[in-house]
Amino acid sequence: MLAWQGMRATFLPKVWEQVSGAQEFLRRLKQKAGWPADFWAADLEVWRYETEIVGPVRAAESGRPTAA
């Protein structure tokens, strides 16, 4: 996530699969925020986070018996 003067832009980590590397990722993130590709500021905040994919547990995977 990039943040600067109350403006922010973030991508889910899944977007990494769609770009060629870190520089391209930052360029696209800056574009999403409405900043030029070469934008940088001394007070620009850069945050990194992880996500976890959560979905329903099927009965067979949970160890519970299935209804017949």
Question: pLDDT tens across 1-45, in order?
Answer: 899 999 999 988 778 788 888 899 889 999 999 999 999 999 999
> Tokens at residue 54, please?
């959560």
> Tokens at residue 35, please?
């900043």
Tell me, what's the pLDDT at 40? 93
Tell me, what's the pLDDT at 53? 81
Residue 29: exposed, middle, or buried by beta-carbon count in 10 A (0-12, 13-18, 19+)? Answer: buried
- For residue 26, give the H/E element and its range: helix 22-33
Is the Cβ–Cβ distance between 2 and 43 less than 8 Å? Answer: no
Tell me, what's the pLDDT at 32? 92
Is the Cβ–Cβ distance between 11 and 48 less than 8 Å? Answer: no
